[in-house]
A = this chain, B = another copy of it.
Amino acid sequence: MNLLDRLAQLNFQLPDVSRPGGSYQSVNVRGNIAYVTTQFPVWNEEFRFQGKLGDNLTTEDGYKAAALCALNVLAQIEGNVGFKHVEGLNHIDIYYVGDGTWDEAPKVANGASDLFAKVLVDKGKHSRAIFGVAHLPSNFSIGLTASFTLLSE
C-alpha cells in the first residue's frame, strides 16, 4: 500500500511536516521501532483546537483535533522514515485537556483511532492510553504520541 495514494483515495491530505523546536527528533528510529514526538492539532503552521473540551470546545471538535494529530503523525512518518518501511502502528498515548467535568474522552480518542484504522487498515491496529492532563504546550486541547514497528530489512 502506498500511503499517499491511500490518503488521496479517502480524501485525506497530509499537513506539512513540522520541524523540531529543540535538540530532539520528530521521529527517532532505534532498532526496528520508530518513536514519534507528540503531535498536536496543527494544520501546516496554523494552531487549531486550543482551549478546553467541555468549555470552548465540543466533543466533536475534540474528535477532529485527534484526527488532525493522527494526520500529523502520518506526515512525520512519511516525511522522516517513509511509510513503505512500516510494519504497523504500536500504541498511541492521547492527552486531553477538559474543563474538569467533561467526560467524553474515549469518543474524542476515536478521532485518532478511526483515522488510523481507516487509512492503515491492519497496519493501523494499535492499543491506546487516554488521560486528562492539566496543560499542554500552546494551550492545545489534544496531543498524540505514537510509535511504529518497522519492517526488518
Chain A residues within CB distance 8 Å of chain B:
21-28, 30-33, 35-38, 87-93, 95-98, 100, 102-103, 105-106, 109-110, 113-114, 116-117, 125-139, 143, 145, 147, 149
Contact = CB atoms under 8 A, between A and B. Distances in A.
A125 B91 CA distance: 21
A23 B131 contact: no
A110 B23 CA distance: 7
Contact of A110 (B22, B28, B126): B22
Contacts of A143: 129, 131
Copies of this protein in the assembly total: 3
A115 to B, nearest CB: 9
Given A28-B127, A98-B135, 19 more contacts: A21-B106, A22-B106, A23-B116, A24-B109, A28-B126, A31-B33, A35-B90, A35-B91, A37-B128, A38-B128, A38-B130, A38-B131, A91-B147, A93-B145, A96-B135, A98-B134, A100-B134, A103-B139, A132-B135
A134 to B, nearest CB: 5
Nearest to A138: B103
B35 A131 contact: no
Given A23-B113, A23-B114, A110-B23, A136 B131 contact: yes
